[in-house]
Structure 1
Amino acid sequence: MGRKRKDGDPLGLAGTRLAWRHGRFWYRHRGTPARAEWWEDMGTDVAESKRMARLYNNPGDDFGTTRYWMALFLQDFRAQVAAKTRSQRTLEDYEDAQEHLMTYFGRMYPEKIGPNNVTNYLQMHADAGRPVPANRERACLSSMISWLLRRDDRPPSLVVNPCMRASGVVRNTETNRERYVTDAEYLAVYKVAPRSVQIMMELTYRTLQRPESDIIRWTTTIVKRKGDGRILHFRQGKTGRLMEIELVGRLQTMIEHIVGSNDKVLKFKQPIVATLSGELYTYDGLSSMLRRAINEVRADHKEKGGELSMMENFGFRDLKGKGATDMWLSGTPIETIQALCGHADKATTEKYIKARYRESIKPNLITL
């Protein structure tokens, strides 16, 4: 039994291998090559530090799984970023990718992952309307496995990287998304979708933010009072841009239905798109629920001979494109749409919109 801490352990750090030093939390690693032990800066958030410590300490059955190795890979990558040998932006991309990858691969052992698993992952996310992010996540998994292959303690049966083209894996085709969701399609799916999917659809369509990396993580703390009204106040994950979106119209009605009108409740961190138990959804989970709603509409229209019996799949990301296109068609200045989307220049916004808008052109009607 370890000796008691002199400070009485007010932060509950006993058994975590965490220590509070110089105004930050530090984790003491075991058996790192070249040193008997070394300390990693975990930041100032006690909850996040304990979460990472639980991953590192691995008290359950995570040892040897992809989740276990991914945590060590990112730990090593952070050290390389600190040494300025790797990019901070790449680290942030990998940390975002980790959330999606672990939903599918987390409990698998790296040596058991085959090219078929990687291909299935890519196809599943392509069907969910996010083929390009899935390619980036495959790249993260590939980097982790390549890193693991270079280690002396790698699983003996891990001999090839199943994510590489040489293994037969073909990335999703990266073309501009041209899918425009019609009003009829949107309203039909919205009508049969679960409440959480409806909220996600409306938030994406109304705010034009990235559903897979920003909206999915929003909590009630981003709702702020400004003047006589309220705003959504947050920082975009990809661009780092600080955003303020006015709560008006249907967006205001929906947010107030979720959080109420009492500003005191906004201090309590609750997900805006939440499960029945009040937890954050995974993007994969919400996308699956959206696909089921689409299938339900198709089946209903097929039975009744409706026009949507052959409706193509779409994902939440397509609703960002629909929102931008609809705003442009209604006469909203392109600069406003650009600011909402977070595009660096107006030309990108114009391409983003016009890829989805196709106006029929009359032929030559001249009579000879």
Structure 2
Amino acid sequence: MAGKLPRSSESRKTDGTLKENKRESKNVIGVFGEMQPSDIHPVDIYGYLSERELAGAPIKANKEVALLSAVLEYGRRLGWLETNPCGGIKYNKSKPNQKYVEEAELNLIMKTARERGDSYLVVALCLRAAYLTVSRPDEMRAVARQNISASGVQMPIGKRRAGQMQRMKLIEWSPALKSVMDEALALQRTPSMYVFGNTTGQVYTTSGFNTILRRLMKYSATKAAESGATFNRFTLKDMRPSAVMDRLEDGDQRVTDATGHADDRMVKKVYDRRKTKVAKATK
């Protein structure tokens, strides 16, 4: 459906979202693909949510039903059905991700990666760079040499629809950021346009990156257990909210310049995971 919209359409989703929707659609099509839109009822939606929850995928089920709802709403617009059966549906309950990456945890990852070298170190440096630049996983994996300038690292901001102007953010150099980027580039056996490219010089796929990261987390957890240290596994996407929290704790008044958000609404809702917020007395 969305694929039929012209790339300039404001209603068309971003390419990244479309790819994600394509993956989500497989389960939806498997259950509802042969049904007429008008034959789908709320009880069917609740049954789907329950079955997927029992299968261990309650959150994925929510996203899949959200996709189904968008498709059915489009069908309602075309006159295929009178009401959207997904309207008013209560989704599976989910716990918000509250992971905060401790400095000691990231340091242990870096130490383990240096011992193992190669792809492990590239992945670890990418984690560190994501923290320093407050960047999303897709933005960080795809950062290129051309993004590096004398002033710092210039990076595209978030998702955009086709036809929309790409917004950019400039993260100015700090000694730590300069060191990370220089080391990542020095690791490349074959020059690549991507700073954190894979062994063939291409952008890591999500699955490829996460496979190496899971191994690195396993090795680090073993090392932590041997020394009696506390270590909780984390992902590339945990680096951005962890960076936001640290910036807020340090009193950064321009954190949205680093995240790329137009205002702080999303920062407060999603990225601010501080358990304790500190404020001065009124007088």
TM-score class, shorter-chain normalisation, is 0.5 to 0.7
Q: Which residue of 1 aligns with 2:206?
A: 283
| 1:1-368 alignment runs, 5 A limit | 73-78=1-6, 82=9, 87-88=10-11, 90-92=12-14, 95-100=15-20, 111=30, 139-140=66-67, 173=94, 175=96, 177-193=97-113, 194-211=120-137, 213-224=138-149, 229-238=150-159, 240-259=166-185, 270-302=193-225, 304=226, 306-308=228-230, 311-329=231-249, 331-335=250-254, 337-346=255-264, 349=267, 354-358=272-276
Secondary structure of the corresponding residue to residue 179 of structure 1: coil
User: CA RMSD for the aligned pairs?
Assistant: 4.4
- What CA distance in whole angstroms lies between the structure 1 residues aligned with 2:130 and 2:56? 24
Shift of 1:209: 1.4
Separation (CA, whole Å) in 1 of partners of 2:212 and 2:262: 32
1:323 deviation in Å?
1.7
Partner Cα distance (1:285, 1:170) in 2: 31
Whether contact under 8 Å (1:97, 1:136) holds in the other structure is: no
The one-letter code matched in structure 2 to 1:321 is P
Query: Do 2:192 and 2:202's aligned partners in 1 also have CA atoms closer than 8 Å?
Result: no
Deviation at 1:76, TM superposition (A): 0.5
Corresponding letter in the other structure for 1:75 = G
Deviations 1:271-330 (A, max 9, x none): 22211011111123222322322222223333x26132xx4432212211222222333x
Looking at structure 2, the residues matched to 221 and 113 of structure 1 have their Cα atoms a distance apart, in angstroms, of 45
TM-score, normalising length from structure 2? 0.64
Structure 2 CA distance for aligned equivalents of residues 178 and 109 of structure 1: 29
Q: Tell me, yes or no, if the aligned pair for 1:232 and 1:244 is still in contact at 8 Å.
A: yes
Higher RCO (Cα < 8 Å, 6 or more apart): 2
Taking the aligned partners of 2:68 and 2:141, their CA distance within structure 1 comes to: 22
Query: CA-to-partner distance for each residue in 1:116-173, whole Å, 9 max, x for gaps?
Result: 99777957xx7xxxx8xx965774587579989xxxxxxxxxxxxxxx98xxx96572
Tell me how far apart the structure 1 counterparts of residues 56 and 16 of structure 2 sit (CA, whole Å). Answer: 16
Query: Could you tell me which residue of structure 1 aligns to residue 44 of structure 2?
Result: none
Alpha-carbon spacing, 1:121–1:96, altered in 2? closer, same or farther (3 Å): farther
One-letter amino acid of the structure 2 residue matched with residue 204 of structure 1: A
Answer yes or no: is the 8 Å Cα contact 2:25–2:64 preserved in 1: no
**TM-score using structure 1 length:** 0.51
Contact 1:100 1:283 in 2 (8 A): no
Deviates most, 289-298 or 111-120: 111-120
CA spacing shift, 1:258–1:312, aligned 2, 3 Å: closer
- Asked whether the equivalents of residues 325 and 356 of structure 1 are also in contact (C-alpha less than 8 Å), the reply is yes
Please give the alpha-carbon distance, in whole angstroms, between the structure 2 residues aligned to 1:181 and 1:323: 9
Which structure: greater helix fraction? 2
* Letter paired with 2:100: Y
Runs of at least 5 residues in structure 1 that lack an aligned partner in the other structure: 1-72, 149-163, 261-267, 361-368
Amino acid at match of 1:232: V
User: What is the aligned residue count?
Assistant: 240
Which structure has greater strand proportion?
A: 1
C-alpha distance in 1 between matches for 2:224 and 2:184: 32
Q: CA deviation at 1:91?
A: 1.4
Alpha-carbon distance in structure 1 between the residues aligned to 2:248 and 2:143: 26
After superposition, the Cα gap between the structure-2 partners of 1:97 and 1:338, relative to the gap in structure 1 and judged at 3 Å, is same
8 Å Cα contact 2:155/2:168 also seen in 1? yes
- Code of the aligned partner of 2:135: Q
Q: State the alpha-carbon separation in 2 of the partners of residues 76 and 358 from structure 1.
A: 48
Q: CA deviation at 1:74?
A: 4.2
- Residue type of the alignment partner of 2:197: A
Unaligned stretches of 5+ residues in structure 2: 34-47, 76-84, 114-119, 161-165, 279-283
**1:197/1:286 contact within 8 Å kept:** yes
